[in-house]
Amino acid sequence: MRKIGFAFLFLALLFVAKSAETAEQAKPVQQPTIQKQGHHIFAFFEIGDSAAEPDNTISSDDFVAILNELERGRYTVTSIASVLQPHEGDIPLVSLTFDGGYRSFYENALPVLKQAEMPFTLFITPEQINRNSPRYMTWEQIRDVADLDYATVALQADYYVPFPVRDDSDIRAGLNRAIGTFEQQLGFKPSYIAYPFGMYDDKTLSIVSEYSFFLAGFGLNSSVVSPQTPRMTLPRFALTGDYADLNRFKMVASVLPLPVFDAIPGRSTIVDKDAPDIGFTIDDAVTNPDKLSCFAGGVGKIKVELLGHRAELRFDQPLIEGKRLRINCTLPYISPEDGAENWYWYGLLVQPR
């Protein structure tokens, strides 16, 4: 009788285990969660109405209008240090960066930033500062910025030439020289680096990785930072020239990061001019990949070939060697919670060679 009892108990437990296993197998596979908001990093260069390069400039009025918009509470303005932290909220994160160490930043942007005590990052090129040119800030002025609790001063190479066109020894020597000057003048090593013209390749990233104090690197492709974005190739939206008004800012400050992986080119901004290999796979969580549209400055709409969720970009003619090409891909998104309309956004910056 006892043996029968044990046998019955064994069979019962086996049945329960099998039932649980079957139920577990029947559960739908959980798709990756689509991020509600990302981290939007903006890049400014010259500020004002009398700058030497209008295409590299935002007017003082447009800059003030953007800061006024940021102060209305629709965004969380934060330092670039927070870009390395996960973001799960519904309010867009925004970070402001200023490249070049221009005097126009010090005269036209800094007073407004100080009044609002708004976090920002200043990327400087020591070789340009050492020229003692009236176009650039002085080291004393940069030290004034570094003393602000809400400011970060970081490095933008030794001089403003794209890393991919320089050889290894020149890059290392230049970085060593720039870092040495930076530390001598400011008393600390830079934690962040912005690549000149936003350009990098595998060689660049390998060399920069030798400097362990660099926590993140920044390009200039127009895209939103997501948890999948590599920390040494973080994108930034440039606000310059015809793309530097309040409407442009409000549009891109609210877009969602398009979740992609297996992107080509991955660790490089360099592509073959005759047969550019550019593509990416859209996450399965996105249910409408057929709605993807891609555009490039000077080219217009780009043909997209889709194989499932894999997108490959095709060009009708060879690209112009050396001319940087900014590619922006968008896809409509409708919130399942409230029906609100928005856009996914994924951007690349490439240079044909």
Which contiguous run of DSSP H or E holds residue 312? strand 310-314
**Closest listed residue to residue 145, CA positions, set 181, 175, 103:** 103
Phi and psi, residue 125, nearest 5°: -115, 105
Residue-wise DSSP of 112-181 = HHHHHT--EEEEE-HHHHTTT-TTB--HHHHHHHHTSTTEEEEE--SSSS-GGGS-HHHHHHHHHHHHHH
pTM, whole model, 2 decimals? 0.87
The residue ranking higher by pLDDT, 340 or 24, is 340
The residue ranking higher by pLDDT, 344 or 8, is 344
Q: Work out the percent of the chain whose per-residue pLDDT is above 90.
A: 75
- Give me the domains of the chain, ranges plus CATH numbers: 39-255 (3.20.20.370), 261-352 (2.60.40)
Per DSSP, the chain holds a count of helices (H) and strands (E) of 9, 19
Query: 69 pLDDT exceeds 90?
Result: yes
Residue 229, helix vs strand vs coil:
coil
The residue ranking higher by pLDDT, 5 or 273, is 273
Task: Write the pLDDT tens digit of every residue in 304-341.
Answer: 999 999 999 999 889 999 999 999 999 999 887 777 88
Tokens for 348?
């690349």
Mean pLDDT across 205-227 = 95
Q: Tell me which of 19-23, 43-47, 107-111, 274-278 is least confident.
A: 19-23
Query: 30 pLDDT exceeds 80?
Result: no
Task: Write the pLDDT tens digit of every residue in 156-202.
Answer: 988 889 999 999 999 999 999 999 999 999 999 999 999 999 999 99
Q: Tell me which of 30-39, 54-63, 130-139, 221-230 is least confident.
A: 30-39
Query: 80 pLDDT exceeds 80?
Result: yes
Question: Do 234 and 220 touch, CB atoms closer than 8 A?
Answer: no
Q: What pLDDT score does 27 carry?
A: 31
Task: Write the pLDDT tens digit of every residue in 87-120.
Answer: 667 788 999 999 999 999 999 999 999 999 999 9
Mean pLDDT across 223-242 = 93
Q: What pLDDT score does 205 carry?
A: 96
Q: What distance in Å separates the CA atoms of residue 345 and residue 326, rounded to the nearest whole number?
A: 13
Residue 104, helix vs strand vs coil:
helix
Q: What pLDDT score does 260 carry?
A: 93
Query: 248 pLDDT exceeds 60?
Result: yes
Mean of pLDDT over the chain: 88
Residue 54's pLDDT band, with cuts at 50, 70 and 90, is: confident
